[in-house]
Structure 1
Amino acid sequence: MLKSVTGGSFIIEDVDYPTVVTPDQLTDEQRMIADTTRDFVEGEVTPHDEQLETLDYDLTVDLIRKAGDLGLLGADVPEMYGGLELDKVSSTLINERLSKASSFALSVGAHVGIGTLPIVYFGTEEQKKRYLPELASGQKIAAYCLTEPSSGSDAQGAKANAVLSEDKSYYTLSGTKQFITNAAFADVFIVYAKVDGEHFSTFIVERTMDGVSIGPEEKKMGIKGSSTCPLILEEVKVPAENLLWEVGKGHLIAFNILNIGRFKLAAGSVGAAKETIELSANYANERTQFGRPISSFPLVGKKLAEMNVKTYLLESMVYRTAGLMDDAMKDIDFSKPDAGVVSAKAIAEYQLEYSINKVFSSETLDSIADEGVQIHGGYGYIQEYKVERIYRDSRINRIFEGTNEINRLLIPGTLIKRAMKGQLPLMEKAQALQSELLSMVPGRTFDGTLEQESHLIAMAKKMFLMVGGQAVQKYQLDLEKEQEILSHLADMMIQVFAIESAFARTKQLIDKRGEEKAANAIAMTEIAVHEAFDVIESLAKESIASMESGDTLRTQLSVLKKLGRRTPINLTARKRQIAEKVAYSSKYVV
C-alpha cells in the first residue's frame, strides 16, 4: 500500500522505493484497459489517419463517440454519473495508448481532461447529473476556455466579463477566448470570466445559447487534425445555475484543472516517445549505408540508447505521479457538497510534481522527436514519414497548460510557499545542512549495484538545499525577482525527481527479477544518474557564482566540489548495451 507522501517532500527526504508506483506493477484489469485503447486506436483511428489530419469534424466526432461506447471517455467520471471511475494509473494508460492517434488524441484529451474534469470535481449535483453522462458517452463534447487574445499565462488578467441579472436568474457573458481546442464541434464550454469585471469565476456555457459563435480555424504548425478556434461571447445569457462552484473561485478551478492537464500531457508524451523510438529503430534497421544497417553504427546507436533512457525516466516519473494522485484522491465522495473543496486540496497536494512532469515530458519528447528525424535523415523531413508529424506536433507541448517558463517558476515557488506554511521542513533541512557542510565530506567507495547512484541522488538533494537555502537567505521576499536562480532550482528538482523515479523503479525490478534480468534498467539508471548529476552540479555552480564572489564564492565552490566527488563510469559501454537491445527489439525496451 502506498503511504501518504507530502507533495514536494522528495527533494528533502529519501524515497521509500518499494512504495513507488511503476508501470511494471499493472493488474490484469489495467492491462486489459490498455489493450482496449490500443485496439481502438489501431482498428478505428489509424486507418483514417490521413483524413483526420485534414480536419474532418464529422469523422472526429464519430470516433470520439466510438471511444465513448468503449468507456474510454469515462475513466475519470464517477460511476454514479455514467463513468467508469477508474484509478489514475488506468486513466494514464489510456492517455498513453491514445497518443499514437496524433491530433485525435488531443481532441479526446481536451474533452476528457480539462473539458470534463471541472464538472467532475467542482460541479453541483445537478450539474453532474445533467452533463457528465453525455460527456462520458461522447454524446456531448467539451472544450476548455481560459486563454484570451491578451492573456495567456496571466489567466487572471482575463477581460471576459459576467454580469448577474437583477432577478439573479442569469449572468450575461461577453468576451473572446482564444486557441480553444475542440471549439468547432464542442457542445459544452468551460468558460472563465470576471463577475462585474472583478471576481474571476467559471461558467458552463452551451453552444446553443444565443450569442455564442465560433471564429475561424487557426492555421497551425502541428496538431493539424485538431480544431483550434476562438470562442466569441456576445451578451450570452447563462443561467445562474451554470455557475461552476462559487463566484470568485475560478482561479482555484483553473489552476487545479491545469495541474491535471499538465499530468495528462506528460502521460501522452510517454506514448509518443515510445512510438518515436519504434519508428526510428525500425527505420535504422531497414536503412542500409556502406553495406550495413545504420543501426549498427555507434553514433546512430547512441541516439537510440539516449532516446530509450529518456523515455525510461519519463515513464517512471509519470507512473510514480499517477500513484501519488491515486493516494491523494482515493477518499473523495463526489456526491457530497464539499467535493469541490476536497478535490481542490487533493489535486493541489502534488501541483509541484505536475509541473515537473509537464516540463520534463515536453522537453524530453521534443528531444526524442528531433533525434528521430535525424535518424531518418532526409526522409524525416518528408510528410510521408510519421516522425515528421511527431516532430511538429510535439512543439506545442512546451506552450500548452502553462508555458515551461511559467512552470519553472511555479516549481520552486510552490515548494517555498509550502515551507512557509509549515507543510515542509525545507528551511530546517537547509539550516541543518549548513553545519554539516563545514566538515569534510569523506571519500567513499561503492561496491554494490546502484550504491554510488543512490549516494549521488542524496548529494544532488544536498546541492539543491545548499543553493536554495542560500538563495532564500540572500534574497528573502525578493527571490521571486531572481528568475534565473528560480529556473536553476526548478531544473535541479526536475532532474532529481526524474532520476529518483527511475532509481526506485529499477530497485523494484532488481528485487523482482534479479540483477541479470534487470541489467537494462540498471544500465539506464546508471547513465541517467551520472548525466543528470553533471547537470545538477553545473546549475548549482552557476547559481552560487551569481550570488557570491571572492572568498565566499571560493568557499562555496569548495564545498560543492566535495559534494560532487564520484567515480566516473563507462557511459559509452552502457549506451552500446542499450542500443543493441533497442535495435534488436525494434522498440522501446526496459
Structure 2
Amino acid sequence: MTKYVAGGSYMLNEVNYQSVMTPEDFQTEQRMIAETTKEFIEGEVIPCDEELEALNYERTVELLQKAGEIGLLGAEVPEEYGGLDVDKISSTLISERLAKGSSFALSLGAHVGIGSLPIVYFGSEAQKEKYLPALVTGEKIAAYCLTEPSSGSDALGAKTTAVLSEDGEYYVINGTKQYITNAAFADVFIVYAKVNGTEFSTFIIERSMEGVTVGPEEKKMGIKGSSTCPLILEDVRVPVENLLWDIGKGHVIAFNILNIGRFKLAAGCLGAAKEAIELSAHYANERTQFGKSISSFPLIQKKLAEMTVNTYVLDSVVYRTAGLMEERLNQVEEQQDVGTTSAKAIAEYAIECSINKVLGSETLDHIADEAVQIHGGYGFIQEYKVERIYRDSRINRIFEGTNEINRLLIPGTLLKRAMKGELPLMEKAQALQKELLSFVPARTFSGALDEERHLIDRAKKIFLMVGGVAVQKYQLQIEKEQELLSHLADMMIAIYGSESAYARTMKMMDAKGEEKASHAMTMTKVAVHDAFTKVEMLAKEMLIAMEEGDLLRTNLSLLKKLSRRSPVNTITLKRQIAEKVVTAEKFIV
C-alpha cells in the first residue's frame, strides 16, 4: 500500500504531478453535488437576499432547513445519523459553490463545519445519536463558541470555567463568548471552558438550558446577513454526558476544527473570487469610456489577468489539498486503525490548511479590491455586488486564526515536525550547504514549463538555505523572530501555490495536449515567475537582517547564483490571459 504524502513534505521533495488532485479530475457525482448546491443558492437563497441582509432570522432558518432537505447540511455526517458522508472533494465543492450566497454561506458553513463537526469527529455514540440527526435536517442549528472578550488568538487563555457539582451529575459553567456566528437562532452551542479553571475542555450546551443568554447583534462592517452575538453563560448546569470527548482535550478539538475551518474558508474565498472576476469582466465589456469598452484598456486587462492567475493558483491549491486529505483518510480507513477520524487526516495537513487560509483570504481581498476599482464609482454603490464582496471579504483575514497567527504556525509546525523526526528538514538543509559549493544553475531547458519546474526546485533550495541560516543563528529562540518566520511562511505559501498550478497544468498537458492547455500554461508561467521573484526578495531581506560583513556577501552571492534565470515578458503574457477572460466574461482555465 502506498504511504500517504506527509504534511509539509512538499518543501523537501519534487511533486509527482500525476498524483495531484485537480479540478479537471472531478467525477460525475461530485459535479452533480456542486450543481445541486449552485441551483439551491441561485434558486432559493439569492431571491431572498434583501431579507437575509436585513437579518430575517426566520428566513435564514427556513433556508437552512431547505438545505437540509437536499442533503447540504449532512454532507460530512455519517449515513447512520442521516448524513451523506461524501468525500472531501465533494464537500469542498459545496463550500465553494455556497460562496455566491454571501452571508447565508457563512450561516450554513458555520453550522455544518465548526458547529457540527466537533460532534461528528469527537462525540460519543450517544451524543451523535442525540444531536446529529437534528443537525442534518436543520431542526436544530449549531454554533461554535471559542472566542472571548479577552482571548482571541490566544484561545487557551479563555476564562470561561466549568466546575463539577458535588454529586458529579453536571458541570456549572460561567463565562462569556464573543462574536458567535448563528448565536441569535442556534439551538446547540459547542463551548470551550476550563474545568476547575485549568483543564481546557469542550461541552455541548443547549439553548434551552437555564442560564444561557444571547446578547444583542453586533453591527458589522460586512457579512451583515449573518447573526453575530455574544453568548452569556451564568451558572449553566450542563449534564456530565455533554462533555465532548475527555477533560483537558479541548485544545485538540479546537485546533482540529480550526484546521477544518481554515481550509473551508479558502474554498469559500475561491468561490467569491470567481464571482468577482465574472462581475468585473462583464462590467468592463459593458462600460464604455473615450468611445470604447474599458476592457480594451491595457491597465484594466492587467487587473483581470492578475485576478485570473491568482484565482488559478488558489483553485489549484484548494483541490490539491482536498485530494491530500481524501487520500490520507482512505489510508486510515484501509488500515482500520481504532478511533481514527477525518480530523486526523486534516491534522496531518495543518501546514497546508494554514496556507489555504492565508492565500485564500489575501487572494480574495486583492481581487475584491480590484473588482471595485474596475467598477469605478459604481463599485462603491450597494446596488453592485462587488461592493458587498469587498466588505464581506475583509473578515476572512481575521476568522479562524488571524493571518499573522497562521504565518507563525506554517514554518513553526514544519520545524516542530522536523525536530520530532517526522520530516528530514535539517538533513536536507545540511546536504544543500555542500551542494551549493559547486552549484551551477541549468542554462538550457527542454520541454514546456521545464524552466518553471527548475525555478520551483530552486525556490525550495533558497528556502532551505535561508531557513538553515535562521535556525543555526537563533535555534530555539527563532520563535521570537516573528518577521523572519513570516518571511519563511510567505516563501512556503508562494512555493505551494506555484507548484500546485504547475502540477495541475502539467497534468492537463498530458491529458489534452499543449494546444488545449495553452491558457493554463500561460497562467502557470506568470504564477511561477511572480512567486520566484517574491521568494528571492524575501530571502534577500532575511539574509540582510541576519548577517553582515563577509558572511552576508557570501550568502548574497549564493542567493544570486540560485536566483539566476531567463527574463520573461509577463506584460505580454498577461495581455494574452486577459483576452481569454474578456471574451469568456468569467474565470476560465
* Same fold at TM > 0.5: yes
Deviation at 1:330, TM superposition (A): 2.6
CA distance in 2, matches of 1:60, 1:307: 32
Q: Does 1:559 align with 2:554?
A: no
Q: Give unmatched runs, 5+ long, in structure 2.
A: none
The residue that corresponds to 1:424 in the other structure is: 423
Q: Does 1:38 align with 2:8?
A: no
The residue that corresponds to 1:212 in the other structure is: 212
The residue that corresponds to 2:465 in the other structure is: 466
Percent identity, aligned pairs only?
71
Deviation at 1:317, TM superposition (A): 0.1
CA distance change for structure 1 residues 525 and 2 in 2, over 3 Å: closer, same or farther? farther
Query: For each residue in 1:161-191, what CA deviation from the matched residue of structure 2 results, as whole angstroms up to 9, or x when unmatched?
Result: 0001112110000000000000000000000
CA distance in 1, matches of 2:20, 2:480: 35
CA distance in 2, matches of 1:93, 1:153: 29
CA distance in 2, matches of 1:428, 1:89: 34
Q: Does 1:383 align with 2:398?
A: no
Read off the aligned partner of 1:326 and give its amino acid letter.
Answer: E
CA distance change for structure 1 residues 35 and 345 in 2, over 3 Å: closer, same or farther? closer
CA distance in 2, matches of 1:67, 1:472: 50
Deviation at 1:332, TM superposition (A): 5.7
Q: Does 1:320 align with 2:320?
A: yes
> Contact 2:4/2:331 (CA < 8 Å) preserved in 1?
no
Deviation at 1:528, TM superposition (A): 0.5
Query: For each residue in 1:177-229, what CA deviation from the matched residue of structure 2 results, as whole angstroms up to 9, or x when unmatched?
Result: 00000000000000000000000000000000000000000000000000000
Deviation at 1:546, TM superposition (A): 0.7
1:130-529 to 2 correspondences below 5 Å: 130-330=130-330, 339=339, 342-529=341-528
Secondary structure in 1 matching 2:229: strand
Q: Does 1:14 align with 2:14?
A: yes
The residue that corresponds to 2:54 in the other structure is: 54
Secondary structure in 2 matching 1:505: helix
Read off the aligned partner of 1:282 and give its amino acid letter.
Answer: H
Q: Does 1:115 align with 2:110?
A: no
Read off the aligned partner of 2:45 and give its amino acid letter.
Answer: V
The residue that corresponds to 1:569 in the other structure is: 568
Read off the aligned partner of 2:21 and give its amino acid letter.
Answer: V
Deviation at 1:338, TM superposition (A): 5.1
The residue that corresponds to 1:71 in the other structure is: 71
Secondary structure in 2 matching 1:230: strand
> Contact 2:191/2:203 (CA < 8 Å) preserved in 1?
yes
Query: For each residue in 1:277-311, what CA deviation from the matched residue of structure 2 results, as whole angstroms up to 9, or x when unmatched?
Result: 00000000000011111001111011001000000
CA distance in 2, matches of 1:333, 1:498: 29
Secondary structure in 2 matching 1:330: helix
Query: For each residue in 1:116-140, what CA deviation from the matched residue of structure 2 results, as whole angstroms up to 9, or x when unmatched?
Result: 0000000000001111111111111
Q: Does 1:25 align with 2:25?
A: yes
CA distance in 1, matches of 2:72, 2:347: 25
Deviation at 1:346, TM superposition (A): 2.6
Read off the aligned partner of 1:227 and give its amino acid letter.
Answer: S
CA distance in 2, matches of 1:440, 1:418: 28
CA distance in 2, matches of 1:160, 1:330: 38
Q: Give unmatched runs, 5+ long, in structure 1.
A: none
CA distance in 2, matches of 1:580, 1:278: 14
Read off the aligned partner of 1:308 and give its amino acid letter.
Answer: T
Superposed CA RMSD in Å reads 1.4
Secondary structure in 2 matching 1:241: helix
CA distance change for structure 1 residues 2 and 389 in 2, over 3 Å: closer, same or farther? farther
Secondary structure in 1 matching 2:388: helix
CA distance in 2, matches of 1:344, 1:518: 36
Deviation at 1:440, TM superposition (A): 3.8
CA distance in 2, matches of 1:494, 1:536: 10
CA distance in 1, matches of 2:438, 2:134: 64
> Contact 1:134/1:140 (CA < 8 Å) preserved in 2?
yes
CA distance in 1, matches of 2:570, 2:178: 46
CA distance in 2, matches of 1:272, 1:519: 25
Deviation at 1:148, TM superposition (A): 0.1
Deviation at 1:333, TM superposition (A): 6.7
> Contact 1:459/1:563 (CA < 8 Å) preserved in 2?
yes
Deviation at 1:328, TM superposition (A): 1.8
Secondary structure in 1 matching 2:129: helix
CA distance in 2, matches of 1:192, 1:332: 28
The residue that corresponds to 2:125 in the other structure is: 125
Deviation at 1:337, TM superposition (A): 11
CA distance in 1, matches of 2:552, 2:258: 40
The residue that corresponds to 1:580 in the other structure is: 579
Read off the aligned partner of 1:514 and give its amino acid letter.
Answer: G
Deviation at 1:327, TM superposition (A): 1.5
Secondary structure in 1 matching 2:171: strand
> Contact 2:257/2:343 (CA < 8 Å) preserved in 1?
no
- Compute the TM-score of the two structures, normalised by the length of structure 1: 0.98
Read off the aligned partner of 1:178 and give its amino acid letter.
Answer: Q
Read off the aligned partner of 1:510 and give its amino acid letter.
Answer: M
Read off the aligned partner of 2:586 and give its amino acid letter.
Answer: K
Query: For each residue in 1:445-468, what CA deviation from the matched residue of structure 2 results, as whole angstroms up to 9, or x when unmatched?
Result: 124210110000000000000011
CA distance change for structure 1 residues 290 and 68 in 2, over 3 Å: closer, same or farther? same
> Contact 1:527/1:571 (CA < 8 Å) preserved in 2?
yes
CA distance in 2, matches of 1:122, 1:347: 14
Query: For each residue in 1:437-490, what CA deviation from the matched residue of structure 2 results, as whole angstroms up to 9, or x when unmatched?
Result: 111424411242101100000000000000111111111110000001000000
- Compute the TM-score of the two structures, normalised by the length of structure 2: 0.98
CA distance in 1, matches of 2:332, 2:4: 15
Secondary structure in 1 matching 2:440: coil
CA distance in 2, matches of 1:509, 1:268: 24
Read off the aligned partner of 1:136 and give its amino acid letter.
Answer: V
